[in-house]
């Protein structure tokens, strides 16, 4: 008879898994939220099971519980379920197969059209919306909201993965989604039920000593910790049958404008869609 018991991961194991630290430290505190956060992984293979409207509403209410600068709430999200529309968006985002597998694609936008409409109704000035700072706020607010949705989805046993590739062809994405001026697609987020046959694992991150500085920034001190990370993530890449080192991968990603896959046009694309970026 098969053993139906499952090993329950301990807090120490989950933190060790995030860093692949050979000498893990017992966390000082722990709770279910911390467990969801530490178990996060990108899911790129999904079952066909739908995500219900009730679940979607819950994810969006979690998203709207995120902080928003000055309560401006300058983001909106488009839920895409239509197969043909997802196919067209997938073609614009590098033909990634999981876009078609996942039952819902959430497209998060920086949205100033709502405030522009209010200003037009009241014949009020909105010159401050044309500055780079305001555009930053839209992008940041969208990211904060989406990450809340990710944590909520994963707490419900769903899987997620972000899609930055929607910025490869932003004008075409805007046309597909009927985005008015001053609404810009920042990224996509796939949500669905993970395929249990996918052998995806938690990807180790840089050691805290490489990213956590005390009082002032110290570039020299973090160098040895980045070096240590190379050997830890090499083990992960080997398990996933991926080549190259972390350094090779990240430097190749930023080697030239060509490696940005069209996103080097971001300023022009924003300006084309009504973001003036003064």
Same domain for 82 and 163?
yes
Mean pLDDT calculated for residue range 83-104: 97
Q: How confident is the model at residue 22 (pLDDT cuts 50, 70, 90)?
A: confident
Assess contact for 21 and 210: CB atoms under 8 A. Answer: no
Q: Over 60: is that where the pLDDT of 3 sits?
A: no
Same domain for 221 and 153?
no
What pLDDT score was predicted for residue 201? Answer: 87
Same domain for 233 and 158?
no
How do the residues of the chain divide into helix, strand and coil, expressed in percent and rounded to 5?
A: 50, 10, 40
Residue 183 included in any domain: yes
Same domain for 136 and 272?
yes
What pLDDT score was predicted for residue 114? Answer: 97
Same domain for 90 and 213?
no
Instruction: Name the more confident of 60 and 245.
Output: 60
CATH of the domain at 47: 3.40.109.10
Give 277's contacts (C-beta < 8 A, 6+ positions apart).
130, 131, 132, 135, 267, 270, 271
CA distances from 194 to 15, 63, 134, 255 (A): 22, 21, 36, 33
Same domain for 155 and 212?
no
Residue 192 included in any domain: yes
Residue 266 included in any domain: yes
Residue 18 included in any domain: no
What pLDDT score was predicted for residue 184? Answer: 97
What pLDDT score was predicted for residue 7? Answer: 62
Mean pLDDT calculated for residue range 232-248: 87
What pLDDT score was predicted for residue 194? Answer: 97
Residue 11 included in any domain: no
Q: How far apart are CA 210 and CA 232, in angstroms?
A: 14
What is the chain's mean pLDDT, rounded?
Answer: 93
Residue 179 included in any domain: yes
Q: How far apart are CA 186 and CA 266, in angstroms?
A: 10
Mean pLDDT calculated for residue range 185-189: 98
Residue 29 included in any domain: no
Same domain for 162 and 273?
yes
Same domain for 185 and 216?
no
> Could you tell me which of 19, 17, 59 has the C-alpha nearest to residue 39?
17
CB burial of residue 77 (10 Å; 0-12, 13-18, 19+): buried
Same domain for 59 and 189?
yes
Domain of 92, in residue numbers: 43-196+261-277
Same domain for 110 and 163?
yes
Mean pLDDT lowest for which of 7-11, 208-212, 235-239? 7-11
Residue 112 included in any domain: yes
196-216 per-position pLDDT tens digit: 999 888 999 999 999 999 999
Same domain for 89 and 224?
no
Total count of domains within the chain: 2
Assess contact for 164 and 266: CB atoms under 8 A. Answer: no
130-149 per-position pLDDT tens digit: 999 999 999 999 999 999 99
Give helix then strand counts, H and E, for the chain. Answer: 12, 4
105-134 per-position pLDDT tens digit: 999 999 999 999 999 999 999 999 999 999
Give the ranges where the chain is alpha helix by DSSP (H).
11-19, 32-38, 53-63, 83-92, 97-101, 113-121, 132-155, 170-177, 208-211, 219-239, 246-253, 266-272
What pLDDT score was predicted for residue 4? Answer: 42
What pLDDT score was predicted for residue 173? Answer: 98
What pLDDT score was predicted for residue 277? Answer: 84
Same domain for 93 and 185?
yes
């Amino acid at each position: 008879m098969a053993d139906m018991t499952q090993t329950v991961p301990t807090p120490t194991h989950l933190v060790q898994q995030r860093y692949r630290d050979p000498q893990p430290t017992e966390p000082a505190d722990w709770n279910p939220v911390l467990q969801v956060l530490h178990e996060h992984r990108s899911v790129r293979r999904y079952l066909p099971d739908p995500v219900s409207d009730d679940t979607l509403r819950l994810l969006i209410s979690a998203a709207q519980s995120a902080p928003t600068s000055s309560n401006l709430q300058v983001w909106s999200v488009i839920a895409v379920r239509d197969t043909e529309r997802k196919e067209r968006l997938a073609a614009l985002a590098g033909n990634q197969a999981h876009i078609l597998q996942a039952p819902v694609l959430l497209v998060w936008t920086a949205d100033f059209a709502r405030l522009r409409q209010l200003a037009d109704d009241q014949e009020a000035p909105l010159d401050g919306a044309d500055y780079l700072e305001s555009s930053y706020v839209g992008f940041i607010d969208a990211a904060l909201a989406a990450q809340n949705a990710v944590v909520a989805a994963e707490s419900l046993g769903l899987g997620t993965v972000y899609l930055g590739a929607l910025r490869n062809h932003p004008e075409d994405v805007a046309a597909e989604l009927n985005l008015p001026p001053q609404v810009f697609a920042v990224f996509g987020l796939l949500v669905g039920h993970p395929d249990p046959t996918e052998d995806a694992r938690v990807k180790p991150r840089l050691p805290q000593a490489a990213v956590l500085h005390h009082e002032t920034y110290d570039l020299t001190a973090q160098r040895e910790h980045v070096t240590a990370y190379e050997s830890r993530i090499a083990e992960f890449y080997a398990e996933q049958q991926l080549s190259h080192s972390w350094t090779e991968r990240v430097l190749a990603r930023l080697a030239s404008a060509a490696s940005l896959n069209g996103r080097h046009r971001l300023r022009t694309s924003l300006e084309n869609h009504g973001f003036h970026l003064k």
